[in-house]
Amino acid sequence: MHGLLYPMRTYLVVSGRLGDEVDVMAADWITIVSAKPFIIAVAVAPTRYTFKLIKRFGEFVVSVPSIDMVRDVWVAGSEHGPQKIARMRITFEKARSIGTPVIREALANLECRVVGEHSYGDHVLFVASVVDYSYREDAFRDSKPNLSAGFLAHIAYSEFTVFSSSIVRVE
Ligand SMILES: Cc1cc2nc3c(=O)[nH]c(=O)nc-3n(C[C@H](O)[C@H](O)[C@H](O)COP(=O)(O)O)c2cc1C
């Protein structure tokens, strides 16, 4: 019952190349595995079109969406293949260090190069180095997330939420 670990944050994974084939899928199952160097992992089912593109290029971008992008997140997470992009209101931009594009509207974009992969059950865990990143200054102030930027969390199926602005500071 993987739902017992929810709510989880929701991200977008961009894969492929502009002008060739580019795809975006929603992904909850993303984690940090090392801070220095910065390494993350994402679990992608082999049935996803995104899986094919990550295997082909060995790269992907993790984009951090805000609640304002929730309709695009739903399209990315419920439709298969690059044709969905025409129905999304996102703008692709050249990344700083890799060939996969980033999403301009996102709160942050992490440019990732695959360094390892392993199949576990029904998903493949791609482990990747974050080789570059960019972010909106208003979303990350004083080196921490500004909750009013609307960071997205997934409850179940098509239900999403944002974080409350109340902060508990432990002394
Ligand atoms: C909020 C949300 C989170 C999701 N998280 C994941 C995930 O972590 N891994 C995964 O393989 N699929 C996940 N999915 C499913 C894919 O996003 C979905 O199958 C998508 O249509 C795949 O697109 P593609 O075939 O174009 O790559 C998620 C779907 C939603 C709606």
Mean pLDDT, residues 10-39 taken together: 97
Q: Give the span between the Cα atoms of 91 and 131, in whole angstroms.
A: 22
Residue 30 lies in a domain: yes
Structural domains counted in the chain:
1
Instruction: Tell which one of 6, 28, 53, 62 to mutate to probe ligand 1, the residue whose CB is within 8 A of the most ligand atoms.
Output: 28
Distance 133 CA to ligand 1 centre (A): 22
Instruction: Tell which one of 48, 64, 122, 154 to mutate to probe ligand 1, the residue whose CB is within 8 A of the most ligand atoms.
Output: 48
Distance 132 CA to ligand 1 centre (A): 24
Distance 23 CA to ligand 1 centre (A): 11
The pLDDT of residue 20? 82
Closest CA to 108 of 125, 133, 89: 133
Residue 137 lies in a domain: yes
56: pLDDT strictly greater than 90? yes
Residue 2 lies in a domain: no
Tokens of 171: 């002394």
Residue 145 lies in a domain: yes
pTM of the model: 0.98
Residue 42 lies in a domain: yes
Cβ neighbors of 127 (< 8 A, separation 6 or more) are 33, 39, 40, 41, 114, 115, 116, 117, 118
What residues flank ligand 1, with Cβ below 6 Å?
Answer: 10, 23, 25-29, 43-45, 48-50, 77-81, 123, 154
The one-letter amino acid code at 39 reads I
Residue 55 lies in a domain: yes
Distance 12 CA to ligand 1 centre (A): 9
Here the CATH number for the domain that contains residue 40 is: 2.30.110.10
Mean pLDDT, residues 104-125 taken together: 98
Residues comprising the chain, all counted: 171
Q: Give the span between the Cα atoms of 151 and 156, in whole angstroms.
A: 16
- Range(s) of the domain holding residue 146: 7-61+73-162
Cβ neighbors of 164 (< 8 A, separation 6 or more) are 147
Could you tell me the pLDDT band of residue 19, with boundaries at 50, 70 and 90? confident
What SS3 class is residue 68? helix
How do residues 60-107 score in pLDDT, each as one tens digit? 999 999 999 999 999 999 999 999 999 999 999 999 999 999 999 999
25: pLDDT strictly greater than 90? yes
How do residues 39-55 score in pLDDT, each as one tens digit? 999 999 999 999 999 99
Residue 152 lies in a domain: yes
How do residues 128-171 score in pLDDT, each as one tens digit? 999 999 999 999 998 899 999 999 999 999 999 999 989 999 99
Residue 67 lies in a domain: no
